[in-house]
Amino acid sequence: GIQVEQSPPDLILQEGANSTLRCNFSDSVNNLQWFHQNPWGQLINLFYIPSGTKQNGRLSATTVATERYSLLYISSSQTTDSGVYFCAVSTGANSKLTFGKGITLSVRP
């Protein structure tokens, strides 16, 4: 099946700093999403981005489908950005949404 690798596994930032989270995947995808899991476990959809670039406030994401990677940018980070960021993909061949292991972000005041 498709492999999803996220890096770095852990990230510590000072409030106000910028960061880039990376997701590499091993096959063509028809769906790629970035999720933020808050401390209570809820997975919040940040972006549906199988290709191209999107922005939502301080967050933006870019997927280069031909090179099989996606980047999530966080600018002017805040303590509420802390949590685990997951990249998840599906290939369309079946319904399985495959998750990466996640990136644990800690933003310190």
Query: Which residue ranges make up the site for other proteins (CB under 8 A)?
Result: 30-31, 33, 35, 40-45, 48, 86, 88, 90, 92, 94-97, 99-102
DSSP 8-state symbol, 94: S
Nearer to other proteins, 19 or 36 (CB): 36
Compute the C-alpha angle 89/30/81, nearest 5°: 40
For residues 4 and 97, the answer to whether their CB atoms sit within 8 Å is no
* Shortest spacing between CB 42 and other proteins, in angstroms: 4
Q: Nearer Cβ to other proteins, position 4 or 77?
A: 4
In the complex, what is the shortest distance from the CB of residue 109 to other proteins, in angstroms, rounded to a whole number? 26
Question: Which residue number, 58 or 101, has a Cβ lying nearer to other proteins?
Answer: 101
Please report, for the chain, how many H helices and E strands are present, in that order. 0, 11
Q: How many CB atoms lie within 10 A of CB 30?
A: 12
Q: How far is the CB of 45 from other proteins (least distance, A)?
A: 6
* Nearer residue to other proteins within complex by CB, 82 or 86: 86
Determine if residue 66 is left, alpha or beta; phi over 0 gives left, psi from -120 to 50 gives alpha, anything else beta: alpha
**Shortest distance in whole angstroms from residue 17 CB to other proteins:** 27
